[in-house]
C-alpha cells in the first residue's frame, strides 16, 4: 500500500504567482463566458485557469 504525503497548502501558495487559489466564482465566470454568446467564436481551445502557474 502506498502512502502519499502532500505538503501543507501554504507551500503551494508560496509557489503561486498571485499567492491565492481561485474562487469557485472565478472558475464559473470563465465557464459561463465560454458557454455564452461571447464565447461563440472560440473553438478547440483549452482555458488554463491557473493564476499564472504553468504559464
Query: How far is C-alpha 40 from the chain's CA centre?
Result: 21
Question: What are the backbone angles phi and psi of residue 12, rounded to the nearest 5°?
Answer: -70, -40
Q: What predicted TM-score, i.e. pTM, was given to this entire model?
A: 0.67
> Cell numbers 461571447 label which residue?
38
C-beta separation of 8 from 45 below 8 A: no
Question: What pLDDT score was predicted for residue 55?
Answer: 57
39-53 confidence digits (pLDDT tens)? 999 999 888 888 887
**Mind listing the pLDDT tens digit for each residue in 2-39?**
888 888 888 888 888 888 889 999 999 999 999 999 99
Predicted confidence at residue 2, as pLDDT, reads: 82
Amino acid at each position: 500500500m502506498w502512502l502519499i504525503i502532500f505538503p501543507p497548502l501554504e507551500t503551494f501558495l508560496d509557489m503561486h504567482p498571485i499567492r491565492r487559489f481561485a474562487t469557485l466564482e472565478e472558475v464559473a465566470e470563465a465557464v459561463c463566458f465560454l458557454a455564452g454568446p461571447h464565447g461563440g467564436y472560440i473553438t478547440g481551445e483549452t482555458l488554463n485557469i491557473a493564476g499564472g502557474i504553468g504559464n
